[in-house]
């Protein structure tokens, strides 16, 4: 297990660098996002990812998404981006849309049991600053034990995960309070995996217009 959890105000001097150092050294950190609070680690650290599964009490058949700091980091985690996914990225990133894409072969296999990887750029300055300082990509899932409601605040996340994480970066209540929409773009037809802030009808309208063009 990790050491006793530290609650760090996001606006405290050096808070981002301190939390990022923990991530780079294989620790688990809770971070704010635009949707709900997440708990994560470095995306290429297999040992840390396994600890993340253990702390979450999450079964390995449930993949863990990746959050990116910038669009330039996408090529490090995906094999390629299908045209329909490119249209969604252009319209909705940064924002509350998670897109499942063909995963990069260098990603740890434990992140996903199949050939896809869920990816998102959050519309949250603190989240992106932490991810960038930690290396550009983090494996992040909701800050709770599997089956619990998603954490809306840092204090709630800390209570859920107890001493399983090294630090909790506190930036106040999550703005949306709702997990992201998830769509799968790995096959010939786009599929809705989870409903969220962006409606399936809106996504379909965009992609249909893109197909016509």
Q: Quickly list DSSP for 164-175.
A: GSSEEEE-SS-S
Residue 12 in domain: yes
Number of domains in the chain: 1
Give the pLDDT score at 207: 76
Q: How many Cβ atoms are within 10 Å of 126's Cβ, its own excluded?
A: 21
Domain range holding 107? Answer: 6-212
Residues with Cβ within 8 Å of 116's Cβ and at least 6 positions away in sequence, in order, are 63, 100, 101, 102, 103, 184, 186
| β-bridge partners, 207 | none
Residues with Cβ within 8 Å of 194's Cβ and at least 6 positions away in sequence, in order, are 98, 179, 180, 181, 182
Residue 93 in domain: yes
Buried b (16+ CB within 10 A) or exposed e, 169-184: bbbeebbbebbbbbbb
3 phi/psi in degrees, rounded to 5: -75, 175
Residue 1 in domain: no
CATH number, position 122: 3.90.870.10
Residue 111 in domain: yes
- Per-residue pLDDT of 117-148, as tens digits, reads 999 999 999 999 999 999 999 999 999 999 99
78 DSSP 8-state letter: B
Could you say which residues of the chain have pLDDT below 70?
1-3, 209-213
Please state whether the predicted TM-score (pTM) of the whole model is above 0.85.
yes
Residue 69 in domain: yes
Structure tokens at 178: 């709702």
How long is the chain?
213
Give the pLDDT score at 188: 87
| β-bridge partners, 111 | none
Residue 207 in domain: yes
């Amino acid at each position: 297990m990790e050491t006793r959890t530290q609650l760090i105000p996001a606006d405290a001097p050096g808070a981002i660098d301190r939390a990022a150092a923990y991530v780079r050294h294989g620790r688990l950190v809770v971070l704010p996002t635009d949707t709900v609070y997440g708990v994560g680690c470095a995306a290429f650290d297999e040992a840390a990812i396994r600890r993340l599964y253990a702390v979450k009490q999450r079964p390995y058949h449930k993949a863990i998404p990746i959050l990116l700091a910038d669009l330039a980091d996408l090529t490090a985690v995906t094999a390629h981006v299908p045209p329909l996914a490119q249209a969604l990225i252009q319209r909705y990133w940064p924002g509350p849309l998670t897109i499942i894409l063909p995963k990069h072969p260098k990603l740890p296999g434990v992140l996903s049991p199949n050939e896809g990887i869920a990816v998102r750029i959050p519309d949250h300055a603190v989240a992106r600053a932490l991810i960038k300082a930690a290396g550009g990509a983090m494996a992040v899932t909701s800050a709770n034990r599997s089956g619990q409601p998603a954490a809306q605040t840092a204090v709630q996340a800390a209570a859920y995960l107890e001493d399983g994480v090294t630090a909790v970066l506190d930036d106040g209540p999550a703005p949306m309070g709702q997990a992201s929409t998830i769509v799968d773009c790995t096959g010939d037809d786009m599929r809705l995996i989870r409903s969220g802030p962006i409606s399936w009808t809106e996504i379909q309208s965009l992609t249909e217009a893109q197909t016509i063009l």
